[in-house]
A and B are shown apart, each in its own frame.
Chain A
Protein backbone atom coordinates (compact mmCIF):
# COMPACT_ATOMS: atom_id res chain seq x y z
CA UNK A 1 0.00 0.00 0.00
CA UNK A 2 2.65 2.45 1.10
CA UNK A 3 4.91 1.52 -1.76
CA UNK A 4 2.15 2.05 -4.32
CA UNK A 5 1.47 5.46 -2.81
CA UNK A 6 5.14 6.35 -3.18
CA UNK A 7 5.22 5.24 -6.82
CA UNK A 8 2.16 7.36 -7.62
CA UNK A 9 3.73 10.30 -5.82
CA UNK A 10 7.02 10.01 -7.71
CA UNK A 11 5.19 9.75 -11.05
CA UNK A 12 3.08 12.80 -10.23
CA UNK A 13 6.15 14.81 -9.19
CA UNK A 14 7.80 13.86 -12.48
CA UNK A 15 4.76 15.04 -14.43
CA UNK A 16 4.73 18.35 -12.56
CA UNK A 17 8.42 19.09 -12.76
CA UNK A 18 8.65 18.45 -16.50
CA UNK A 19 5.76 20.79 -17.41
CA UNK A 20 8.11 23.65 -18.51
CA UNK A 21 9.56 21.32 -21.16
CA UNK A 22 6.33 20.69 -23.03
CA UNK A 23 3.57 22.99 -21.78
CA UNK A 24 2.75 26.66 -21.99
CA UNK A 25 3.19 29.11 -19.10
CA UNK A 26 -0.42 28.78 -18.00
CA UNK A 27 0.05 25.06 -17.31
CA UNK A 28 3.37 25.67 -15.55
CA UNK A 29 1.62 28.18 -13.32
CA UNK A 30 -1.07 25.60 -12.54
CA UNK A 31 1.68 23.08 -11.71
CA UNK A 32 3.19 25.56 -9.26
CA UNK A 33 -0.22 25.96 -7.63
CA UNK A 34 -0.65 22.18 -7.41
CA UNK A 35 2.75 21.81 -5.73
CA UNK A 36 2.05 24.70 -3.38
CA UNK A 37 -1.37 23.50 -2.29
CA UNK A 38 -0.10 19.92 -1.98
CA UNK A 39 2.55 21.17 0.46
CA UNK A 40 -0.07 23.07 2.45
CA UNK A 41 -2.53 20.17 2.50
CA UNK A 42 0.21 17.72 3.48
CA UNK A 43 1.23 20.07 6.28
CA UNK A 44 -2.38 20.37 7.46
CA UNK A 45 -2.61 16.59 7.45
CA UNK A 46 -0.33 16.29 10.49
CA UNK A 47 -2.61 18.21 12.84
CA UNK A 48 -5.93 17.82 11.03
CA UNK A 49 -5.53 14.29 9.66
CA UNK A 50 -3.48 12.38 12.20
CA UNK A 51 -4.33 14.24 15.41
CA UNK A 52 -7.90 15.02 14.35
CA UNK A 53 -7.64 18.69 15.30
CA UNK A 54 -9.18 20.60 12.36
CA UNK A 55 -6.84 23.58 12.32
CA UNK A 56 -7.95 26.59 10.32
CA UNK A 57 -4.78 28.53 10.97
CA UNK A 58 -3.03 27.64 7.70
CA UNK A 59 -3.51 31.11 6.17
CA UNK A 60 -2.19 32.75 9.35
CA UNK A 61 1.10 30.90 9.01
CA UNK A 62 1.31 31.29 5.24
CA UNK A 63 0.73 35.03 5.68
CA UNK A 64 3.17 35.33 8.56
CA UNK A 65 5.79 33.50 6.49
CA UNK A 66 5.25 35.79 3.52
CA UNK A 67 5.51 38.90 5.69
CA UNK A 68 8.66 37.75 7.48
CA UNK A 69 10.16 36.85 4.09
CA UNK A 70 9.08 40.11 2.45
CA UNK A 71 10.11 42.41 5.29
CA UNK A 72 13.54 40.82 5.58
CA UNK A 73 14.05 40.94 1.81
CA UNK A 74 13.04 44.60 1.72
CA UNK A 75 15.63 45.22 4.44
CA UNK A 76 18.39 43.69 2.37
CA UNK A 77 18.39 40.02 3.37
CA UNK A 78 19.03 37.66 0.44
CA UNK A 79 16.06 35.74 -0.89
CA UNK A 80 17.16 32.28 0.24
CA UNK A 81 18.05 33.47 3.72
CA UNK A 82 14.72 35.30 4.04
CA UNK A 83 12.96 31.97 3.38
CA UNK A 84 14.99 30.35 6.16
CA UNK A 85 14.12 33.24 8.49
CA UNK A 86 10.42 32.88 7.67
CA UNK A 87 10.52 29.14 8.36
CA UNK A 88 12.22 29.56 11.71
CA UNK A 89 10.01 32.39 12.92
CA UNK A 90 6.80 30.57 11.95
CA UNK A 91 8.11 27.47 13.74
CA UNK A 92 8.71 29.44 16.94
CA UNK A 93 5.47 31.44 16.79
CA UNK A 94 3.36 28.36 16.04
CA UNK A 95 4.76 26.36 18.94
CA UNK A 96 4.08 29.23 21.35
CA UNK A 97 0.55 29.68 20.00
CA UNK A 98 0.05 25.93 20.03
CA UNK A 99 0.58 25.81 23.79
CA UNK A 100 -2.28 28.27 24.20
CA UNK A 101 -4.62 27.08 21.44
CA UNK A 102 -4.46 23.36 22.02
CA UNK A 103 -6.21 23.69 25.34
CA UNK A 104 -9.32 23.91 23.18
CA UNK A 105 -10.90 20.86 21.63
CA UNK A 106 -13.05 20.10 18.58
CA UNK A 107 -15.03 23.01 17.16
CA UNK A 108 -13.66 25.40 19.75
CA UNK A 109 -10.17 24.69 18.48
CA UNK A 110 -11.28 25.28 14.89
CA UNK A 111 -12.77 28.66 15.86
CA UNK A 112 -9.73 29.58 17.94
CA UNK A 113 -7.39 28.78 15.08
CA UNK A 114 -9.36 30.72 12.48
CA UNK A 115 -9.16 33.77 14.76
CA UNK A 116 -5.38 33.73 14.27
CA UNK A 117 -5.84 34.51 10.58
CA UNK A 118 -7.91 37.59 11.33
CA UNK A 119 -5.63 38.64 14.19
CA UNK A 120 -2.50 38.44 12.04
CA UNK A 121 -4.22 40.35 9.25
CA UNK A 122 -5.10 43.17 11.62
CA UNK A 123 -1.56 43.31 12.94
CA UNK A 124 -0.17 43.40 9.38
CA UNK A 125 -2.48 46.21 8.33
CA UNK A 126 -2.02 48.31 11.47
CA UNK A 127 1.74 48.05 11.92
CA UNK A 128 2.44 50.28 8.89
CA UNK A 129 5.99 51.28 9.83
CA UNK A 130 7.19 47.73 9.27
CA UNK A 131 4.61 46.08 7.03
CA UNK A 132 3.59 49.03 4.91
CA UNK A 133 0.04 48.67 6.22
CA UNK A 134 -2.73 48.52 3.64
CA UNK A 135 -0.36 49.65 0.88
CA UNK A 136 1.42 46.34 1.05
CA UNK A 137 5.05 45.63 0.29
CA UNK A 138 6.94 45.43 -2.98
CA UNK A 139 9.54 42.70 -2.99
CA UNK A 140 12.58 42.84 -5.29
CA UNK A 141 11.78 40.41 -8.13
CA UNK A 142 14.20 38.08 -9.84
CA UNK A 143 15.64 39.69 -12.98
CA UNK A 144 15.70 36.50 -15.02
CA UNK A 145 13.61 35.76 -18.07
CA UNK A 146 10.01 34.80 -17.18
CA UNK A 147 10.20 31.12 -18.09
CA UNK A 148 13.37 30.61 -16.03
CA UNK A 149 11.67 32.29 -13.07
CA UNK A 150 8.64 30.01 -13.47
CA UNK A 151 10.84 26.88 -13.63
CA UNK A 152 12.78 28.06 -10.60
CA UNK A 153 9.71 28.58 -8.42
CA UNK A 154 8.21 25.35 -9.72
CA UNK A 155 11.28 23.45 -8.53
CA UNK A 156 11.23 25.18 -5.15
CA UNK A 157 7.54 24.44 -4.59
CA UNK A 158 8.03 20.82 -5.66
CA UNK A 159 10.95 20.55 -3.26
CA UNK A 160 8.63 21.76 -0.48
CA UNK A 161 5.98 19.28 -1.60
CA UNK A 162 8.54 16.44 -1.37
CA UNK A 163 9.68 17.67 2.05
CA UNK A 164 6.15 17.74 3.44
CA UNK A 165 5.47 14.32 1.92
CA UNK A 166 8.56 12.91 3.62
CA UNK A 167 7.50 14.55 6.86
CA UNK A 168 4.17 12.71 6.58
CA UNK A 169 5.91 9.37 6.00
CA UNK A 170 8.22 10.02 8.93
CA UNK A 171 5.40 10.97 11.29
CA UNK A 172 3.13 8.08 10.33
CA UNK A 173 5.87 5.48 10.85
CA UNK A 174 6.94 6.95 14.13
CA UNK A 175 5.60 6.77 17.68
CA UNK A 176 4.58 10.41 17.20
CA UNK A 177 2.11 9.39 14.50
CA UNK A 178 0.82 6.45 16.53
CA UNK A 179 0.33 8.74 19.52
CA UNK A 180 -1.51 11.29 17.38
CA UNK A 181 -3.84 8.57 16.07
CA UNK A 182 -4.57 7.58 19.67
CA UNK A 183 -5.31 11.23 20.54
CA UNK A 184 -7.65 11.49 17.57
CA UNK A 185 -9.68 8.49 18.69
CA UNK A 186 -9.80 9.03 22.44
CA UNK A 187 -7.78 11.78 23.98
CA UNK A 188 -8.44 10.88 27.63
CA UNK A 189 -7.50 7.27 27.07
CA UNK A 190 -4.39 8.43 25.20
CA UNK A 191 -3.36 10.43 28.22
CA UNK A 192 -4.01 7.43 30.44
CA UNK A 193 -1.71 5.11 28.48
CA UNK A 194 1.14 7.52 29.07
CA UNK A 195 1.03 9.84 26.07
CA UNK A 196 1.99 13.41 26.91
CA UNK A 197 -0.95 14.67 24.88
CA UNK A 198 -0.14 18.38 25.24
CA UNK A 199 3.42 17.89 24.01
CA UNK A 200 2.31 15.67 21.12
CA UNK A 201 -0.34 18.13 19.99
CA UNK A 202 2.06 21.09 20.15
CA UNK A 203 4.65 19.19 18.11
CA UNK A 204 1.99 18.30 15.55
CA UNK A 205 0.78 21.89 15.38
CA UNK A 206 4.32 23.18 14.94
CA UNK A 207 5.14 20.62 12.24
CA UNK A 208 2.00 21.50 10.34
CA UNK A 209 2.69 25.25 10.54
CA UNK A 210 6.43 25.52 9.91
CA UNK A 211 6.57 24.64 6.23
CA UNK A 212 3.46 26.72 5.56
CA UNK A 213 5.69 29.63 6.56
CA UNK A 214 8.24 28.61 3.95
CA UNK A 215 5.52 28.28 1.32
CA UNK A 216 4.32 31.79 2.19
CA UNK A 217 7.78 33.32 1.89
CA UNK A 218 8.43 31.58 -1.45
CA UNK A 219 5.04 32.68 -2.73
CA UNK A 220 5.79 36.28 -1.72
CA UNK A 221 9.10 36.21 -3.60
CA UNK A 222 7.34 34.75 -6.63
CA UNK A 223 4.46 37.24 -6.76
CA UNK A 224 6.64 40.27 -5.92
CA UNK A 225 3.92 42.05 -3.96
CA UNK A 226 2.00 41.25 -0.77
CA UNK A 227 -0.73 43.03 1.18
CA UNK A 228 -2.73 42.08 4.29
CA UNK A 229 -5.97 40.99 2.57
CA UNK A 230 -4.15 38.85 -0.01
CA UNK A 231 -1.85 37.22 2.54
CA UNK A 232 -4.33 36.36 5.27
CA UNK A 233 -7.32 34.93 3.42
CA UNK A 234 -9.94 32.93 5.28
CA UNK A 235 -10.71 31.29 1.92
CA UNK A 236 -7.17 29.91 1.70
CA UNK A 237 -7.46 28.41 5.17
CA UNK A 238 -10.72 26.67 4.28
CA UNK A 239 -9.46 25.55 0.88
CA UNK A 240 -6.49 23.70 2.35
CA UNK A 241 -8.61 21.83 4.87
CA UNK A 242 -11.16 20.95 2.17
CA UNK A 243 -8.38 19.70 -0.14
CA UNK A 244 -6.97 17.38 2.51
CA UNK A 245 -10.41 15.99 3.33
CA UNK A 246 -11.32 15.73 -0.34
CA UNK A 247 -8.35 13.47 -0.98
CA UNK A 248 -8.43 11.60 2.31
CA UNK A 249 -7.29 13.12 5.60
CA UNK A 250 -4.98 11.01 7.71
CA UNK A 251 -3.49 9.19 4.72
CA UNK A 252 -0.16 10.05 3.15
CA UNK A 253 -1.23 10.40 -0.46
CA UNK A 254 -4.74 11.76 0.20
CA UNK A 255 -3.80 15.43 0.57
CA UNK A 256 -1.80 15.34 -2.68
CA UNK A 257 -4.74 13.81 -4.55
CA UNK A 258 -7.12 16.31 -2.95
CA UNK A 259 -4.99 19.37 -3.69
CA UNK A 260 -4.35 18.29 -7.28
CA UNK A 261 -8.01 17.51 -7.95
CA UNK A 262 -9.10 20.77 -6.41
CA UNK A 263 -6.67 22.93 -8.38
CA UNK A 264 -7.45 21.16 -11.66
CA UNK A 265 -11.22 21.39 -11.06
CA UNK A 266 -10.90 25.03 -10.12
CA UNK A 267 -9.06 25.81 -13.35
CA UNK A 268 -11.49 23.86 -15.53
CA UNK A 269 -14.54 25.43 -13.95
CA UNK A 270 -12.98 28.89 -14.10
CA UNK A 271 -12.25 28.61 -17.80
CA UNK A 272 -15.63 27.18 -18.77
CA UNK A 273 -18.08 29.00 -16.51
CA UNK A 274 -16.86 32.50 -15.95
CA UNK A 275 -20.05 33.69 -14.24
CA UNK A 276 -20.98 30.84 -11.97
CA UNK A 277 -17.58 29.30 -11.30
CA UNK A 278 -17.63 29.57 -7.48
CA UNK A 279 -21.12 28.08 -7.22
CA UNK A 280 -20.34 25.23 -9.59
CA UNK A 281 -17.06 24.46 -7.87
CA UNK A 282 -18.87 24.47 -4.53
CA UNK A 283 -21.52 22.05 -5.76
CA UNK A 284 -18.87 19.72 -7.21
CA UNK A 285 -16.98 19.61 -3.92
CA UNK A 286 -20.12 19.03 -1.89
CA UNK A 287 -21.01 16.14 -4.22
CA UNK A 288 -17.58 14.56 -3.91
CA UNK A 289 -17.54 14.84 -0.12
CA UNK A 290 -21.12 13.61 0.08
CA UNK A 291 -20.45 10.47 -1.95
CA UNK A 292 -16.90 9.89 -0.72
CA UNK A 293 -16.86 11.05 2.90
CA UNK A 294 -13.47 9.49 3.55
CA UNK A 295 -11.87 11.06 0.50
CA UNK A 296 -11.10 10.19 -3.08
CA UNK A 297 -8.37 7.83 -1.91
CA UNK A 298 -11.07 5.46 -0.65
CA UNK A 299 -12.19 5.03 -4.23
CA UNK A 300 -9.49 2.41 -4.45
CA UNK A 301 -7.20 4.36 -6.76
CA UNK A 302 -4.21 2.72 -5.17
CA UNK A 303 -5.60 -0.77 -5.64
CA UNK A 304 -6.53 -0.18 -9.27
CA UNK A 305 -3.09 1.27 -9.90
CA UNK A 306 -1.39 -1.68 -8.21
CA UNK A 307 -3.32 -4.17 -10.33
CA UNK A 308 -2.35 -2.29 -13.49
CA UNK A 309 1.27 -2.35 -12.41
CA UNK A 310 1.18 -6.07 -11.74
CA UNK A 311 -0.48 -6.63 -15.10
CA UNK A 312 2.27 -4.70 -16.88
CA UNK A 313 4.88 -6.61 -14.99
CA UNK A 314 3.37 -9.92 -16.04
CA UNK A 315 3.09 -8.80 -19.67
CA UNK A 316 6.74 -7.88 -19.66
CA UNK A 317 7.71 -11.30 -18.39
CA UNK A 318 5.77 -12.95 -21.20
Chain B
Protein backbone atom coordinates (compact mmCIF):
# COMPACT_ATOMS: atom_id res chain seq x y z
CA UNK B 1 0.00 0.00 0.00
CA UNK B 2 1.51 3.31 -1.04
CA UNK B 3 1.29 6.34 1.18
CA UNK B 4 -1.55 8.85 1.16
CA UNK B 5 -0.58 12.29 -0.08
CA UNK B 6 -3.76 14.30 -0.11
CA UNK B 7 -7.10 13.77 1.60
CA UNK B 8 -10.27 15.78 1.25
CA UNK B 9 -12.81 15.45 4.05
CA UNK B 10 -16.36 16.42 3.03
CA UNK B 11 -15.12 19.59 1.35
CA UNK B 12 -17.70 22.24 0.46
CA UNK B 13 -17.62 25.69 -1.07
CA UNK B 14 -20.55 27.93 -1.83
CA UNK B 15 -20.76 31.30 -3.53
CA UNK B 16 -23.74 33.10 -2.03
CA UNK B 17 -26.58 30.63 -2.43
CA UNK B 18 -24.86 28.49 -5.06
CA UNK B 19 -23.18 25.37 -3.79
CA UNK B 20 -20.27 24.98 -6.20
CA UNK B 21 -18.77 22.02 -4.35
CA UNK B 22 -20.51 20.03 -1.65
CA UNK B 23 -19.46 17.14 0.52
CA UNK B 24 -16.55 15.92 -1.62
CA UNK B 25 -14.20 13.41 0.00
CA UNK B 26 -11.42 11.50 -1.64
CA UNK B 27 -7.88 10.31 -1.16
CA UNK B 28 -4.90 10.67 -3.46
CA UNK B 29 -1.97 8.28 -3.15
CA UNK B 30 1.65 8.85 -4.08
CA UNK B 31 2.41 8.56 -7.78
CA UNK B 32 -1.21 8.06 -8.75
CA UNK B 33 -2.95 9.65 -11.74
CA UNK B 34 -6.57 10.47 -11.01
CA UNK B 35 -8.94 11.79 -13.64
CA UNK B 36 -11.48 14.41 -12.57
CA UNK B 37 -14.41 14.70 -14.96
CA UNK B 38 -17.85 16.25 -15.03
CA UNK B 39 -19.96 18.61 -17.10
CA UNK B 40 -19.18 22.33 -17.34
CA UNK B 41 -19.96 24.11 -14.08
CA UNK B 42 -19.84 20.92 -12.05
CA UNK B 43 -17.20 22.37 -9.71
CA UNK B 44 -13.97 20.83 -11.00
CA UNK B 45 -11.99 24.04 -11.10
CA UNK B 46 -13.52 25.24 -7.81
CA UNK B 47 -12.32 22.01 -6.22
CA UNK B 48 -8.78 22.66 -7.47
CA UNK B 49 -9.05 26.24 -6.22
CA UNK B 50 -10.00 24.95 -2.77
CA UNK B 51 -7.03 22.60 -2.70
CA UNK B 52 -4.57 25.33 -3.71
CA UNK B 53 -5.86 27.97 -1.31
CA UNK B 54 -7.39 30.28 -3.92
CA UNK B 55 -10.81 29.76 -2.31
CA UNK B 56 -11.35 29.05 1.36
CA UNK B 57 -13.60 26.00 1.71
CA UNK B 58 -16.85 26.84 3.50
CA UNK B 59 -16.78 23.45 5.20
CA UNK B 60 -14.59 20.38 5.36
CA UNK B 61 -10.86 19.84 5.49
CA UNK B 62 -7.90 19.54 3.13
CA UNK B 63 -5.18 17.32 4.58
CA UNK B 64 -1.74 17.18 2.96
CA UNK B 65 0.70 14.57 4.32
CA UNK B 66 -1.29 14.43 7.56
CA UNK B 67 -1.25 18.19 8.01
CA UNK B 68 -4.44 20.25 7.94
CA UNK B 69 -3.84 22.86 5.21
CA UNK B 70 -7.43 24.04 4.74
CA UNK B 71 -6.62 27.66 5.58
CA UNK B 72 -3.47 28.04 3.47
CA UNK B 73 -2.80 30.90 1.06
CA UNK B 74 -1.98 30.17 -2.60
CA UNK B 75 1.73 30.91 -2.16
CA UNK B 76 1.89 28.55 0.80
CA UNK B 77 0.24 25.82 -1.24
CA UNK B 78 2.85 26.38 -3.94
CA UNK B 79 5.70 26.16 -1.45
CA UNK B 80 4.26 22.93 0.00
CA UNK B 81 4.20 21.35 -3.44
CA UNK B 82 0.51 21.61 -4.28
CA UNK B 83 0.89 22.96 -7.80
CA UNK B 84 -1.53 23.55 -10.60
CA UNK B 85 -1.72 24.68 -14.17
CA UNK B 86 -4.48 26.95 -15.37
CA UNK B 87 -7.17 26.24 -17.89
CA UNK B 88 -6.26 29.59 -19.43
CA UNK B 89 -2.46 29.65 -19.47
CA UNK B 90 -0.88 32.21 -17.16
CA UNK B 91 2.68 33.02 -18.21
CA UNK B 92 4.71 36.11 -17.32
CA UNK B 93 4.40 37.45 -20.88
CA UNK B 94 7.46 39.69 -21.18
CA UNK B 95 9.88 37.35 -19.46
CA UNK B 96 11.75 34.72 -21.39
CA UNK B 97 10.71 31.09 -21.21
CA UNK B 98 13.72 30.34 -19.04
CA UNK B 99 12.87 33.16 -16.62
CA UNK B 100 9.28 31.98 -16.38
CA UNK B 101 10.41 28.54 -15.33
CA UNK B 102 13.08 29.97 -13.03
CA UNK B 103 10.34 31.86 -11.16
CA UNK B 104 8.87 28.50 -10.16
CA UNK B 105 12.21 27.21 -8.91
CA UNK B 106 13.16 30.46 -7.19
CA UNK B 107 10.03 30.98 -5.13
CA UNK B 108 8.41 27.59 -4.60
CA UNK B 109 11.63 25.64 -4.01
CA UNK B 110 13.19 28.55 -2.13
CA UNK B 111 16.40 28.47 -4.13
CA UNK B 112 18.26 31.58 -3.11
CA UNK B 113 20.32 32.60 -6.08
CA UNK B 114 18.85 33.62 -9.39
CA UNK B 115 21.63 31.94 -11.38
CA UNK B 116 21.00 28.61 -9.67
CA UNK B 117 17.30 28.95 -10.39
CA UNK B 118 18.08 29.64 -14.06
CA UNK B 119 20.25 26.51 -14.25
CA UNK B 120 17.45 24.52 -12.67
CA UNK B 121 15.04 26.05 -15.17
CA UNK B 122 17.10 24.73 -18.10
CA UNK B 123 16.61 21.23 -16.79
CA UNK B 124 12.81 21.49 -16.92
CA UNK B 125 12.77 23.42 -20.17
CA UNK B 126 14.65 20.48 -21.68
CA UNK B 127 12.35 17.98 -19.99
CA UNK B 128 9.22 19.35 -21.66
CA UNK B 129 11.09 19.90 -24.93
CA UNK B 130 10.97 23.66 -25.47
CA UNK B 131 14.71 24.28 -25.05
CA UNK B 132 14.92 25.87 -28.49
CA UNK B 133 12.64 28.66 -27.30
CA UNK B 134 14.33 29.20 -23.93
CA UNK B 135 15.38 32.77 -24.66
CA UNK B 136 12.29 34.19 -26.32
CA UNK B 137 9.51 36.00 -24.43
CA UNK B 138 6.70 33.74 -23.27
CA UNK B 139 4.15 35.89 -25.10
CA UNK B 140 5.46 34.79 -28.50
CA UNK B 141 4.98 31.05 -27.94
CA UNK B 142 2.29 29.00 -29.68
CA UNK B 143 -0.54 27.65 -27.54
CA UNK B 144 0.91 24.14 -27.44
CA UNK B 145 4.26 25.47 -26.30
CA UNK B 146 2.64 27.75 -23.75
CA UNK B 147 0.99 24.71 -22.25
CA UNK B 148 4.38 23.01 -22.12
CA UNK B 149 5.81 26.11 -20.49
CA UNK B 150 3.05 25.94 -17.92
CA UNK B 151 4.05 22.33 -17.22
CA UNK B 152 7.74 23.19 -16.98
CA UNK B 153 6.95 26.03 -14.58
CA UNK B 154 4.90 23.72 -12.37
CA UNK B 155 7.62 21.06 -12.44
CA UNK B 156 10.24 23.61 -11.44
CA UNK B 157 8.19 24.14 -8.31
CA UNK B 158 9.06 20.59 -7.25
CA UNK B 159 5.43 19.49 -6.88
CA UNK B 160 4.15 16.63 -4.77
CA UNK B 161 0.71 16.94 -6.30
CA UNK B 162 0.20 18.40 -9.75
CA UNK B 163 -3.26 19.49 -10.81
CA UNK B 164 -3.62 19.81 -14.56
CA UNK B 165 -6.65 21.90 -15.47
CA UNK B 166 -7.42 21.10 -19.11
CA UNK B 167 -3.84 21.11 -20.32
CA UNK B 168 -4.92 19.47 -23.54
CA UNK B 169 -7.78 21.79 -24.45
CA UNK B 170 -7.17 23.50 -27.76
CA UNK B 171 -4.40 21.16 -28.89
CA UNK B 172 -4.51 19.13 -32.12
CA UNK B 173 -4.30 15.35 -32.02
CA UNK B 174 -0.56 15.26 -32.72
CA UNK B 175 0.12 17.69 -29.93
CA UNK B 176 -2.11 15.68 -27.58
CA UNK B 177 -0.02 12.56 -28.07
CA UNK B 178 3.06 14.58 -27.13
CA UNK B 179 1.31 15.90 -24.05
CA UNK B 180 0.19 12.40 -23.02
CA UNK B 181 3.76 11.09 -23.12
CA UNK B 182 4.89 14.07 -21.14
CA UNK B 183 2.30 13.50 -18.41
CA UNK B 184 3.31 9.83 -18.19
CA UNK B 185 6.93 10.89 -17.82
CA UNK B 186 5.99 13.28 -15.03
CA UNK B 187 4.05 10.57 -13.23
CA UNK B 188 7.09 8.29 -13.37
CA UNK B 189 8.92 10.83 -11.22
CA UNK B 190 6.57 9.87 -8.38
CA UNK B 191 4.41 12.98 -8.62
CA UNK B 192 0.71 12.45 -7.94
CA UNK B 193 -1.43 13.94 -10.67
CA UNK B 194 -5.04 15.10 -10.74
CA UNK B 195 -6.06 15.63 -14.33
CA UNK B 196 -9.13 17.62 -15.28
CA UNK B 197 -10.13 17.01 -18.86
CA UNK B 198 -13.06 16.82 -21.24
CA UNK B 199 -11.17 14.67 -23.74
CA UNK B 200 -12.19 11.20 -22.66
CA UNK B 201 -9.41 9.67 -24.75
CA UNK B 202 -6.86 11.39 -22.53
CA UNK B 203 -8.68 10.48 -19.34
CA UNK B 204 -9.08 6.83 -20.36
CA UNK B 205 -5.43 6.45 -21.36
CA UNK B 206 -3.91 8.08 -18.33
CA UNK B 207 -6.13 7.66 -15.30
CA UNK B 208 -5.77 4.84 -12.86
CA UNK B 209 -8.87 6.06 -11.14
CA UNK B 210 -11.61 8.50 -12.12
CA UNK B 211 -13.82 10.68 -9.98
CA UNK B 212 -16.91 12.33 -11.35
CA UNK B 213 -18.46 15.59 -10.19
CA UNK B 214 -21.99 16.68 -10.99
CA UNK B 215 -23.54 19.86 -9.57
CA UNK B 216 -20.71 20.02 -7.08
CA UNK B 217 -21.29 16.53 -5.75
CA UNK B 218 -19.10 13.49 -6.16
CA UNK B 219 -21.40 11.05 -7.96
CA UNK B 220 -18.97 8.28 -8.82
CA UNK B 221 -15.47 7.08 -8.12
CA UNK B 222 -13.75 4.05 -9.56
CA UNK B 223 -11.70 2.41 -12.28
CA UNK B 224 -12.10 3.80 -15.80
CA UNK B 225 -14.12 0.79 -16.98
CA UNK B 226 -16.44 1.04 -14.00
CA UNK B 227 -17.01 4.72 -14.64
CA UNK B 228 -18.01 4.40 -18.28
CA UNK B 229 -20.54 1.72 -17.29
CA UNK B 230 -21.97 3.73 -14.41
CA UNK B 231 -25.56 4.70 -15.33
CA UNK B 232 -25.43 7.89 -13.25
CA UNK B 233 -22.28 9.09 -15.02
CA UNK B 234 -23.75 8.23 -18.42
CA UNK B 235 -26.85 10.22 -17.59
CA UNK B 236 -25.07 13.24 -16.15
CA UNK B 237 -22.07 13.53 -18.41
CA UNK B 238 -21.16 10.96 -21.05
CA UNK B 239 -24.47 10.22 -22.80
CA UNK B 240 -25.62 6.79 -24.00
CA UNK B 241 -24.02 6.84 -27.44
CA UNK B 242 -20.68 8.13 -26.33
CA UNK B 243 -20.42 5.67 -23.44
CA UNK B 244 -21.09 2.80 -25.86
CA UNK B 245 -18.43 4.04 -28.22
CA UNK B 246 -15.94 4.33 -25.38
CA UNK B 247 -16.69 0.74 -24.37
CA UNK B 248 -16.13 -0.47 -27.91
CA UNK B 249 -12.86 1.39 -28.19
CA UNK B 250 -11.81 -0.07 -24.86
CA UNK B 251 -12.63 -3.61 -26.03
CA UNK B 252 -10.80 -3.23 -29.34
A residues touching B (Cβ–Cβ < 8 Å)? 173, 175, 178-179, 181-182, 185-186, 188-197
Contacts and interface: CB of A to CB of B under 8 A. Distances in A.
Contact of B104 (A173, A179, A193, A196): A193
A3 to B, nearest CB: 18
B78 interface: yes
25 contacts: A175-B107, A175-B114, A178-B99, A178-B106, A179-B107, A182-B103, A185-B92, A185-B93, A185-B95, A186-B91, A189-B86, A189-B91, A190-B103, A191-B75, A191-B78, A192-B75, A192-B78, A192-B83, A192-B86, A193-B108, A194-B79, A194-B157, A195-B75, A195-B103, A196-B75
B242 to A, nearest CB: 34
A123 to B, nearest CB: 34
Interface string B193-222: 000000000000000000000000000000
B75 A181 contact: no
A104 to B, nearest CB: 18
B90 interface: yes
A175 B106 contact: yes
Contacts of B73: 191, 196
Given A175-B114, A194-B107, A196-B73, 4 more contacts: A173-B114, A182-B103, A188-B90, A191-B78
B74 A182 contact: no
A188 B90 CA distance: 8
B84 A192 contact: yes
Contacts of A182: 92, 95, 103, 107
Contact of B103 (A173, A193, A196): A193
Interface in B50-81: 52, 73-75, 78-79
A173 B106 CA distance: 13
A197 B104 CA distance: 14
B137 to A, nearest CB: 10
Contact of B78 (A179, A186, A193): A193
B94 interface: yes
Nearest to B101: A193
A61 to B, nearest CB: 28
Contacts of A194: 75, 78-79, 104, 107-108, 157
Interface of B: 52, 73-75, 78-79, 83-84, 86, 90-95, 99, 102-104, 106-108, 112, 114, 153, 157
B10 to A, nearest CB: 26
- The 9 A-B residue pairs whose C-beta atoms are closest, nearest first, are A194-B78, A194-B108, A189-B90, A194-B107, A185-B92, A191-B74, A194-B79, A196-B75, A195-B107
A185 B91 CA distance: 8
Nearest to B139: A185
B87 to A, nearest CB: 13
B106 to A, nearest CB: 6
Given A175-B107, A181-B95, A182-B92, A193 B153 contact: yes
Contact of A185 (B94, B114, B157): B94
Nearest to B109: A194
A193 B107 contact: yes
A192 B95 contact: no
Given A175-B107, A178-B106, A182-B103, A192 B74 contact: yes
Nearest to A195: B107
Contacts of A179: 106-107
Contacts of B92: 181-182, 185-186, 189-190
A186 B90 contact: yes
B112 A192 contact: no
B153 A175 contact: no
A150 B104 CA distance: 50
B94 A192 contact: no
A192 B84 CA distance: 8
Nearest to A185: B92
Contacts of B112: 175
Contacts of B84: 192
Contacts of A186: 90-93
A197 B75 contact: yes
Contacts of A190: 92, 103
A195 B90 CA distance: 15
Contacts of B95: 181-182, 185
Contacts of A188: 90
Contacts of B102: 178
Contact of A193 (B93, B94, B114, B157): B157
B148 to A, nearest CB: 16
Given A186-B92, A192-B78, A192-B90, A178 B114 contact: yes
B246 to A, nearest CB: 33
A191 B90 CA distance: 11
A99 to B, nearest CB: 15
A263 B103 CA distance: 38
A182 B108 CA distance: 13
